[in-house]
C-alpha cells in the first residue's frame, strides 16, 4: 500500500486547497454583505498586488458621475441601429 500513499497525500493536498479557496470566497462574501448592510449602495472592487495580502482599504466617492448623462436621462441611442 506504500505505492498509493503519495496519491492519498495529493488528494488531501487538493482537498485542503479547495477548502482554503472556499474559505476565502466566504470571507469576501461576508465582507461585501457587511458593507451593504451598513448602507453602502455601490461597490467597486479592485485587486492590487501593491497592497499587503489580506488587507482591505476603502475609498469614498461622493457624488454620482452619471447625473445628467444620457444614461441617467434615458436618452441613450444605438447609433446606426435606428
What tens digit of pLDDT does each residue of 29-78 get? 998 999 999 988 888 888 888 888 878 888 877 666 667 777 777 777 76
Under a CB-based contact definition with an 8 Å cutoff, are residues 22 and 16 in contact?
Answer: no
How is residue 19 written as a grid cell? 477548502
Mean pLDDT calculated for residue range 20-35: 92
pLDDT of residue 1: 43
pLDDT of residue 75: 79
**Which pTM was predicted?**
0.56
- With a cut of 90, say whether residue 17 has pLDDT above it: yes
Amino acid at each position: 500500500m506504500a505505492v498509493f500513499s503519495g496519491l492519498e497525500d495529493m488528494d488531501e493536498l487538493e482537498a485542503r486547497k479547495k477548502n482554503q479557496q472556499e474559505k476565502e470566497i466566504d470571507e469576501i462574501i461576508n465582507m461585501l454583505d457587511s458593507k451593504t448592510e451598513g448602507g453602502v449602495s455601490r461597490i467597486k472592487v479592485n485587486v492590487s498586488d501593491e497592497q499587503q495580502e489580506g488587507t482591505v482599504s476603502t475609498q469614498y466617492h461622493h457624488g454620482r458621475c452619471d447625473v445628467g448623462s444620457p444614461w441617467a436621462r434615458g436618452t441613450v441611442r444605438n447609433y446606426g441601429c435606428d
